[in-house]
Chain A
Amino acid sequence: MLIERKARSAATRAGVLLQDRPLTSVSVEVESFGLLPWLSLSTALGFALVAAAFYANRRQVPWAELVYWVGIAVLALPVLVRLLAASASRAERIGLVIVLAVGLYLVKVAYGPLAFTFPDEFAHEYNVVQVLQTAHLFQPNPIITVTSVYPGLVDVTSALATTAGLSPFVSGLIVIGAARLLLALALFVLVERITHSSRVAGVAAGLYTANPNYLFFSAEFAYESLALPLSALAVYAAIRREHTADRPAWRAWTAIALGGVIAVVLTHHLTSYALVATLWGMVVVTRFGRFNTRPAPWDLAITATVAVAAWFAFVANGTAVYLSQALGGAVLSLFGLLTLQQAPRQVFAPSSAFGQTALWQELLAVASILFIIVALPFGLRRAWREYKNHSLAVVLGLGAALYVPVQVLRLTPASWETGNRASEFLFVGVALVVAVGILGFDGRHGSALRRYGLPIYVAVVFMGGTVISWRPDLRLPRAYITQAAGQQIQPEGVAVARVMRQLAGPNNSIPTDESNAMLLGLYGQQLSSSGTASGVRFMLLSRVLNADAINALNAVGAHYVLVDRRAQSGDHLIGIYPLAPDLAHAPSSFIDPAAVDKFNQDPSIDRVADSGNIAVFDVSRLVGQHANP
């Protein structure tokens, strides 16, 4: 027994996964948490610094950003470096992955601890509120229409809210936190199952946090934040079932995979398509690859395809329009770039909204991408050599290889978001391949490189990804909910939205700017509309109520119009915040006064609410006069 225990401990230290053992005897391994307690403390300290930076930034303290970067580094880098170490036990690695995931999620929580402030979050919280009010799904959503036909996130959140009596906000935070934990652990076991190494698994799970969307975008209360962990679980179950000879266990893992597939289909469109592609990729590689010995997951691939197609055809057919607007523009823009008909987008261009990115941040971001690109060939080569008989490894390797060309999408304005959004999917493969690559590199080179090179590499990749993660002027949170005389002060748009709901009732059509549309939708329960599609933006900014403006009002059947004279209200990322003090007196901070006054001038329009920056006009008579017969 002692010998067996020592042998297993040695194998664990070496990062070798213990294979399924015969279950007819008791085997006990004693592992240590190693440095986990110390690194938990360092992570907590890092988070405390980040929280202090957020606290300071909301109060316009100039050193807040410096503290933020120090905090991020203290939070993540010691853990990432420790994950590289060969001496850590499997238990310690799992603990570190959990600590890292929780710590980074808390950064997002501390970013908006009192209310959801990310654009997509308004739409999803609206869905939850609707379900809590009506007890049924598929209520129309004026903020992001397509979200209402993917109810997975709403289901889980409303379940928590109704059984625990929590608010949609708190319920949403808990659900996404649970999903993040699931993602971290699922990635760990996924890579561990492929590579048979807890060390590679830990490094891969750690490197995945360098994905630019990990810190904020994937942590927001949105359907993709739940769908991605569920898809990771489904894929893990799909490969796990092939590693068991136990028929009941095979059925159980198959059931988990099928359930995961269905849940992903119910939760998010793009993730379900990515899951279908992954499963078919595994089928193709298994069926036609020369080195595979395991059966292809035909059943799961077919089930996922049928489920996606059925859901798309019978429930979520509006998804095509929604996605075509984003992806169509990206394709056209990319084509224009490749045919030299369009100039590339200037990366890190100074912006009137957020100024110039610091040079060291630009360098870090570029270095991060370059470091990944440099490591990919080594990782792909080694992964092919060692794991080519694993269909999922091959599929993930292909995904990693796609990471480089996808970066081209960042070079056009229309395709930038598509390229950015692709990263959280492709980075699963990138994390695996890079982890395999750098750890293989570690084994063949000197101790100095191992001691300093790999930690620096991981640090640059992670910090660079964090630089890219969010818009510079929003990387640290602005004051949103404030307080005066001990009372919480909501943003102006929230107060107006609540008054409109109380006095005018819900579901009035109210065209407005992008940020107030979200607030009116969520807090006012109004059918708000915004943007250029129906001419709403033109109508708002027009100096006169001409025929085009009236047509825009008619097009949405407007009852009221909400006008915010702050120019930033047209930016759905920053428009919800009170006007920044340093911009308050800039002429460009406000829209043309004539754009507001045109509503005052019209004798058929009532001015029903006025908060200074925001005015609400009742245009029902005007619209009635010009309504089409």
Chain B
Amino acid sequence: MRTRNDTDLLVVAGLAALVLLLHLVGAAGSAIGVLPAALLVLVLPGYALSAFALGSATALERSIASLGVSLTLAAVLGLVLHLTPWGLTGGSWTGALVLITWGASGLAALRRRALRPRRTSAARLVRVDARSVAMIGAAACLGGFALYLSSNPPGELATQGYTLLWAVPDAASGSLVHVGVQNFEPGPRQYVLRADWADQALQQWNVDLDVSSTWSTDIDLSSQVAHPAGDLQLRLYSADDPNTPIRQAMLRSFAAETAATELPASNPAVVQPAIAATPVPSTAPVPTAAPVVVTPQSTPTPTQAEVWERISAQLDAEWGMDTPRTVAILENYLTQFPDDPTARDKLYAALVARAQDQASAGQLQAATADLSQAMDLLPTRPEARIALARIQATPTPTATPITPTPTPAAVEPAAPAPVQPAPPVRQPAPPPPVRQPAPPVRQPAPPPPVQRAPAAPAPVRPAPTPTKVPFTPPR
């Protein structure tokens, strides 16, 4: 028979039952279950056990026992659960604690009934008035507000902002490299990420990241097993300064393994973000250039037409936007198929265009070399000869040394010429290989600013990570 004095035990058993119920319906972590669950671990078992065993104790002692015995019980019970097949899971904890609480509550009720006729308990009453309650409540509110205030993180320190670049080979596939960039700078950032393999340009990405967002991709090189081994370098540039790498990763003597991973055959060299990004970047990273396919020299598999078809897409993207890279692509192609007239025409035009740019920049020696190479390539065409004559006729102040443009190549002599970041807009297809003036080649320009939502105005952009020293690769 239940009496009025068993109410506390019923509440205890009911709270335990609530936790069990929430666990059974899969709502153990819900907001409504937090307080009962915390009580189940920290108070209820101890309360029930002390109600059973410490009937004569004072209220303070029972309070201490409720807390202390619960903590003791959990500390010891964990070891017991560890020895069971279930281990320390939510289910095992809930089940064990609920059973103990129910059992102790039941025993306590029985014991009270047995002892009630003989004993009464001493009582200390505390006079509680409304003002006291209000003041203690106000103190609790003030403390809570202060805690909230303290937990408000400060703005990022001027010395803190950082950008993280990684290039980690896949543990299972030696041809797959996980690459990613995380932006923890004070504001959104635009980056240019370049990949070079054995001193040959491989790929370039324009990466636009909001704060605390991640961009990642996988580079799969399984189709290029014949590529000579070499350092696989990933250089990250700020779009504002595409000549100075701010981060670098380097996989030494990287060689693609034949054990290729299962990747879509349509685009074997690039797999777009495979790693789950943290917050999705505001602008999806779009590779501005398809990968350069370095055709294996020793394998007869790809025919000339196949290779040309593959690089045509790259030329489409680079033509008029990145002349040095265009030259590199064509030179690479001509090392395999030196007699291809179309490629020779294109390379001729690209060399002339690059020479004009170099001459405009005062790099007369480099321009002369390019024009000479162009004349050697197609001696019957007049453009290179005419341009060379103009350069040689230009009075050059001999006292002024030729100052090379600061490029990554200047910082890192062993590295290839830089691939300039291209605007994320595809250019028209290259002109047909007819005899016509070479297309104008523009100096590299930073990518245009990306339009952002009004809610996230572009902040003032300090130099990226002032404490960081650009990485200089070893010679």
Contacts and interface: CB of A to CB of B under 8 A. Distances in A.
Interface stretch (B49-57, B343-351, B432-440): B49-57
A609 B75 contact: no
4 nearest A-B residue pairs (beta carbon): A165-B29, A155-B78, A135-B87, A252-B53
A612 interface: yes
Contact of A114 (B142, B151, B168, B188): B151
Given A25-B120, A47-B146, A163 B78 contact: no
Nearest to B165: A610
Given A233-B64, A610-B247, A613-B162, A263 B136 contact: no
Contacts of B30: 165
Contacts of B131: 37
Interface residues of B, number: 121
Contacts of A481: 153
B110 to A, nearest CB: 13
Contact of A266 (B75, B120, B134, B163): B75
B317 to A, nearest CB: 28
B177 to A, nearest CB: 9
A109 interface: yes
Contacts of A492: 160, 162, 164, 184
A134 B33 CA distance: 24
Interface string A238-276: 001000101011011101100110110011000000000
Contacts of A155: 74-79, 88
B253 A603 contact: yes
A32 B88 CA distance: 45
Contact of B211 (A152, A484, A593): A484
A403 to B, nearest CB: 26
A262 B74 CA distance: 12
Given A52-B146, A479-B154, A579-B159, A267 B75 contact: yes
Given A266-B75, A482-B157, A606-B251, A189 B60 contact: yes
A488 B159 contact: no
Contacts of B147: 51, 106, 109-110, 113
B335 interface: no
Contact of A580 (B88, B149, B159, B459): B159
Contacts of B461: none
Interface of A is mostly: helix
Nearest to A579: B159
A578 B71 contact: no
Interface string A489-502: 11110011001001
Contacts of A189: 60-61, 64
B28 A230 contact: no
Interface of B: 19, 23, 28-30, 33-34, 37-38, 40-42, 50, 53-57, 60-61, 63-65, 67-69, 71-79, 82, 86-90, 93-94, 97, 118-128, 131-132, 134-136, 138-140, 142-143, 145-147, 149-169, 171, 178, 180, 182, 184-188, 210-212, 246-253, 275, 279, 456, 459, 465-469, 471, 473-474
Contacts of A29: 123-125
B132 A131 contact: no
A611 B34 contact: no
A549 B79 CA distance: 41
B180 A499 contact: yes
A131 B88 contact: yes
Nearest to A499: B166
Number of contact residues on A: which range applies? Answer: 35 or more
B71 A182 contact: yes
Contacts of B161: 484, 489
Contact of A485 (B23, B162, B171, B188): B188
Given A137-B79, A244-B56, A608-B249, A59 B155 contact: yes
B182 to A, nearest CB: 6
Nearest to A496: B164
Nearest to B28: A165
Interface string A580-609: 110010000000010001001101111111
B280 to A, nearest CB: 13
B414 to A, nearest CB: 13
Given A33-B128, A260-B72, A610-B471, A55 B149 contact: yes
A495 B37 contact: no
Contacts of B79: 137, 151, 155, 266
A347 interface: no
Contacts of B71: 156, 175, 178-179, 182, 226, 229-230, 263
Given A240-B61, A578-B160, A482 B55 contact: no
Nearest to A53: B150
B88 A137 contact: yes
B250 to A, nearest CB: 5
A31 interface: yes
Contacts of A255: 53
B23 A163 contact: yes
Given A164-B41, A488-B212, A262 B76 contact: yes
Interface stretch (A38-46, A278-286, A325-333, A359-367): A38-46
B304 to A, nearest CB: 36
A355 interface: no
A482 B74 contact: no
Contact of B63 (A185, A230, A240, A505): A185
A526 B37 CA distance: 32
Contact of B74 (A52, A156, A609): A156
B155 A482 contact: yes
A251 B54 CA distance: 9
Given A26-B120, A578-B160, A256 B127 contact: no
Contact of A165 (B34, B76, B120, B474): B34
A264 to B, nearest CB: 9
Nearest to B140: A44
Contacts of A246: 56
A62 to B, nearest CB: 15
A23 B182 contact: no
19 contacts: A23-B122, A41-B135, A58-B154, A135-B87, A163-B41, A163-B97, A165-B28, A181-B67, A182-B71, A226-B71, A256-B65, A487-B211, A489-B153, A502-B275, A503-B275, A584-B159, A606-B169, A606-B249, A611-B162
Contacts of A608: 166-169, 249, 251
B163 to A, nearest CB: 7
B97 A159 contact: yes
Contact of B163 (A37, A106, A483, A611): A611
A606 B250 contact: yes
Given A134-B87, A163-B97, A479-B157, A495 B77 contact: no
B250 A135 contact: no
Contacts of A134: 87
A84 interface: no
A26 B122 contact: yes
A41 B142 contact: yes
B160 A154 contact: no
Contacts of B41: 156, 159-160, 163-164
Nearest to A583: B159
A578 B160 CA distance: 6
Nearest to A492: B162
A236 B77 CA distance: 22
Given A137-B78, A163-B37, 12 more contacts: A43-B143, A155-B77, A163-B90, A182-B68, A244-B56, A259-B69, A263-B75, A491-B160, A496-B164, A503-B180, A578-B159, A600-B471
B60 A483 contact: no
Contact of A136 (B37, B87, B139, B145): B87
Most interface-central of A59, A182, A233 (chain B CB within 10 A):
A182
Contacts of B64: 182, 185-186, 189, 233, 236
Contacts of A495: 162, 164, 182, 184
Contacts of A103: 143
Most interface-central of B33, B89, B136, B182 (chain A CB within 10 A):
B136
A600 B63 CA distance: 62
A28 to B, nearest CB: 5
